[in-house]
Amino acid sequence: MNDLYQGFTSSPIGKQLTKMLGLPQPTKLDRYAEGAPLVDGTVAVGGRGRLAESLAGVLDSLGIAAVAQTVGDDTFKGLVFDATGLTSSDQLVELRDFFTPLLRRLDRCPRVVVIGTPPELAQGEERVAQRALEGFTRSLGKEIGRGGTVQLVYVAEGAEGAVHSTLAFLLSPKSAYVSGQVIRIGAHGSKDAGEVGDWLRPLEGRVALVTGASRGIGEQIARVLHRDGATVVGVDVPQAASELQAVMKEIDGDHLVLDITAKDAPHRIARHLKEKHGGVDVVVHNAGITRDKKLANMAEDRFEQVISVNLTAPERITRHLLDEKVVNDNGSIVGVASIAGIAGNVGQTNYAASKAGVIGLVDSLADELDRGITINAVAPGFIITQMTAAVPFATREVGQRLNAMAQGGLPVDVAEAIAWYASPGSTAVNGNVVRVCGQMMLGA
């Protein structure tokens, strides 16, 4: 599953040829290695607003070196700008004043974060200025290059102390394939963060359920959650039982073999989690299928199967686990949606409907949940898996290049985003849909 084009562009001849022809030159992305520091370098902070005075301390608590003084010729691994103090459109020039002198001093694979106030919670001129931040960050994400990422984090008033887990994720290599995203903290439900004892193992002592855990993205989700300290309960269909058991054995997890669309599946899952683990802290709805055909040629069973597996089953399981209080206090529910559910895709009306429905599930429950439980979703773009490796070469190449990073993502990129949602430090991160797509040119 190697990216042959990226390998070619890294060679001396490839560099010269792609530059001459104006072709994409994807940077090899930094990705997190277990036990490594969150940030290998220094982060410059600036701006004025509700978080300006606390940002350096927040980063220091995460083991991230931060400086406010940016005079000189030092290079930076990241930039964080507090824009919560921008209350009118004429003040937006402060973004240029901070970023323009520093962009040429960024290291390879840099991380940029702009912090604002949710526009829907602001009034008048401030609302205008805060909404403008979205256009700024998404455009900068497509300009920054060299494997860099740019994000906008809207922090509700009163949630300033809940930014730690989100900054840890966005400033680290864990967010390698996440860019151009808008994240809200404290806009739905709790404005407080749970306690994290160890930022290298934030899920210590927690139980995580992962459906479709035997291979691909699901396997990586299970492995990353285990890396972060969780006991993983993997679920998959009988046909994948041997693979599921092998993965769970390797990560000291538990397993449950069943078809999630079965009528009794929610009950069986709930009973297993209660009897063997006393409940569950993290629920990841990853299992999914495709049955692609243009709608004019699609049989009823192809449409129904995709909706049933990708949407109806997660919805039924979620509601049963909540009704039976199997999900523990401050638990996390995460759905795996898709960029197809946002932008659409030819031949995937069934799949896109199911994945848009996952986003709808997040929207429907975000303001209803109690006991500190959160619900969020990831929306992967082109992720390199065994399934995408079977896609015709030309189609695969186009799919991988149509994003700001000019490359496909890896299953671990999706898993890292889910682990961030699952962290007890993310209890104020609720109702979000984050695209793991390298900032696709369409629908992102």
Domain 31-185 in CATH 3.90.1150.10? The answer is no
Q: Is 177 a catalytic residue?
A: no
Q: Where are the domains of the chain?
A: 31-185, 207-436
pLDDT given for residue 322 in this prediction: 98
Q: Is the pTM of this model over 0.85?
A: yes
pLDDT given for residue 443 in this prediction: 57
How does strand 181-185 pair with strand 254-257?
Answer: unpaired
Question: Of 154, 177, 351, 421, which is the active-site residue?
Answer: 351
> Is-contact 156 193, C-beta < 8 A?
no
pLDDT given for residue 24 in this prediction: 75
pLDDT given for residue 64 in this prediction: 97
Domains 31-185 and 207-436 share a fold: yes
pLDDT given for residue 1 in this prediction: 59
pLDDT tens readout for residues 269-306? 999 999 999 999 999 999 999 999 999 999 999 999 99
The low-confidence residues of the chain, meaning pLDDT below 50, are 444
Domain 207-436 belongs to what topology?
A: Rossmann fold (3.40.50)
Token couple for 442 = 């369409």
pLDDT given for residue 390 in this prediction: 65
